[in-house]
Amino acid sequence: MSTQTAEAVSVPKPRARERARKRPRKGQSPWIWVAVVAIIIFCLFPFYWLINVSLKTGADLSSSSLVPPHPSLKNYSSIFKNDDFTNGLKNSAIVAFSVTILALAFGSFAAYVLARLKLRGKFIILGIVLSVTTFPQIAIAAPLFKLWSDIGIFNTWIGLIIPYLTFALPLSIYILVSFFREIPKDLEEAALVDGATRFQAFRKVVIPLAAPGLATAGILTFIFAWNEFLLAVTLTSSPKARTVPAAIAFFTGSTEFEEPLGTIAAASVVISVPLIFLVLFFQKRIVAGLTAGAVKG
DSSP result, 237-287: -STTT--HHHHHHT---SSTT---HHHHHHHHHHHHHHHHHHHHHTHHHHH
Q: Select from 215, 277, 282 the least CA-distant residue to 47.
A: 277
pTM: 0.80
Each residue of 253-267: pLDDT tens digit? 655 556 788 899 999
pLDDT reported for residue 9: 47
Q: Which domain holds residue 221?
A: 83-250
Q: How many domains does the chain have?
A: 2
Cα distances from 82 to residues 78, 87, 212, 239, 252, in angstroms, run 6, 9, 38, 11, 11
User: Are 162 and 43 part of one and the same domain?
Assistant: no
- Kindly give, in sequence order, each residue whose CB lies less than 8 Å from that of residue 245, ignoring residues fewer than 6 positions away: 88, 92, 227, 228, 229, 232, 271
CATH classification at residue 127? 1.10.3720.10
pLDDT reported for residue 254: 57
pLDDT reported for residue 208: 86
pLDDT band per the 50, 70, 90 thresholds, residue 25: low
Q: Is the pLDDT of residue 16 over 60?
A: no
User: Are 93 and 195 part of one and the same domain?
Assistant: yes
User: Are 219 and 99 part of one and the same domain?
Assistant: yes
pLDDT reported for residue 88: 93
Q: Select from 281, 143, 146, 163 the least CA-distant residue to 229.
A: 163
